[in-house]
Amino acid sequence: MKSTYQVMQVAASGTLELAERQTPQPKSSEVLIAIEACGICGADASDIDRADPALQPPRVPGHEVVGRIAALGPHTPSIWKVGQRVGIGRLGGHCNECNECRRGRFNLCRNQPVVGSSCDGGYAEMMIARATALVSIPDELSSEEAAPILCAGIATFNALKKSGAEAGDTVAILGIGGLGHMALQYARKMGFRVVAVGRGQDIAADAIELGAHRYVDTSAENPADAINAIGGARAILTTTGNPEAVAALMPALLPEGRLIVLGVGKDPLPVSTGYLVGDERGVFGSITGSPFENERTLDFSVLTGVRPRIETMPLERAAEAVQKMRSGEADFRMVLTMGERSNAHQ
């Protein structure tokens, strides 16, 4: 095993810098992963901007990680083997002790790290991870394909499962970006009538190709009127943090319909209590999922042919890749690749 490895860490200036670190040894119930690919998520921008400049060593972002186990710490469950390909998502491994873990709600564990934020993530050749966070990666998916599914994939897949919609119901997807382009594919494969809602015609053809039956351009028509014209939506999944855009769509929600919030914004969402009570509509958030649920998402993706649209860049170009994501110019999802460095454990 190499004695050192490279990372892209957050400099004191809030930018990314290439650095060399000593290869760590995994502790009890931890593994060392030789990383092959790491997706770039919108949340990475916040992690970079909010990183503690006094932290030593500086934080390494990234939470859509795929690689191979290079070393096992003591007491690691026997299902994990050296050389096995695994993934890590946003949640860094449940504690198995808190009340939420005892309820089996591992994604709501009160004592788990947030990968790339409160612990180091995958903009690196290697990383340490809790064994409880590990996700087994199917052979049918490349590491580059699997990486975004560990966050954007499971976030939208689980949200749709919680939506209450059934096959044949209309589901609207607001925001056709890194999350939305996965939501469209999953919604179509789940048997919903899918309405994509975006701004401008530049995304219309992509939305239809990804699975939408209908594209609604909010700059050209009232989105709620357009959806109500085809009978209203049983569920609306919003991937944007713009509360005005979300509020404009809510009049299309059917009685007992649900608005599922994935996009996080700073401003409050205006919702009339009478609107919720009168027809028993619901608004709720959804946060990623457990490792088991992540494996279900990966398996469904293999079964139905759902894949993220990605653009890859090598690790040393992470700053450029993050900037491309921030600008909205990315082809839906940016993924960092480690190339020959994926063999760092050898």
Residue at token pair 């290439």: 18
Query: Between β-strands 30-40 and 333-337, what pairing exists: parallel, antiparallel or unpaired?
Result: antiparallel
Banded pLDDT at 340 (limits 50, 70, 90): low
If asked whether residues 17 and 140 sit together in one domain, one would say yes
Cα three-residue angle 155-160-163, rounded to 5 degrees = 125
Number of domains making up the chain: 2
Query: Between β-strands 64-72 and 214-217, what pairing exists: parallel, antiparallel or unpaired?
Result: unpaired
Q: Of 150, 125, 22, which Cα lies nearest the Cα of 68?
A: 125
Three-state DSSP at 260 gives strand
Banded pLDDT at 346 (limits 50, 70, 90): very low
The predicted-structure confidence for 94-111, as pLDDT tens digits, reads as follows 999 999 999 999 999 999
If asked whether residues 127 and 18 sit together in one domain, one would say yes
Q: Which of the listed residues 285, 302, 325 is the one where a domain comes to its end?
A: 285
If asked whether residues 302 and 251 sit together in one domain, one would say no
If asked whether residues 174 and 216 sit together in one domain, one would say yes
Residue 156 domain-assigned (yes or no): no
Cβ atoms within 10 A of the Cβ of 269, count?
Answer: 16
The torsion of the CA quartet 235, 238, 243, 244, rounded to 10 degrees, works out to -70
Give yes or no for residue 35 having a pLDDT over 60. Answer: yes
The predicted-structure confidence for 107-150, as pLDDT tens digits, reads as follows 999 999 999 999 999 999 999 999 999 999 999 999 999 999 99
Cα–Cα distance list, 38 to 18, 328, 337 (Å): 16, 19, 7
d(CA 25, CA 1): 11
Residues of the chain above pLDDT 90, percent = 86
d(CA 161, CA 189): 12
Give yes or no for residue 78 having a pLDDT over 70. Answer: yes
CATH for 267: 3.40.50.720
The pLDDT assigned to 203 comes to 93
Tokens linked to 300: 């469904």
Segment 142-167 shows an average pLDDT of 97
CATH for 95: 3.90.180.10
pTM, rounded to two decimals:
0.94
If asked whether residues 39 and 84 sit together in one domain, one would say yes
Domain region containing 115:
4-150+289-343
Q: Which of the listed residues 285, 300, 323 is the one where a domain comes to its end?
A: 285
If asked whether residues 121 and 109 sit together in one domain, one would say yes
If asked whether residues 26 and 146 sit together in one domain, one would say yes
If asked whether residues 272 and 329 sit together in one domain, one would say no
Residue 242 domain-assigned (yes or no): yes
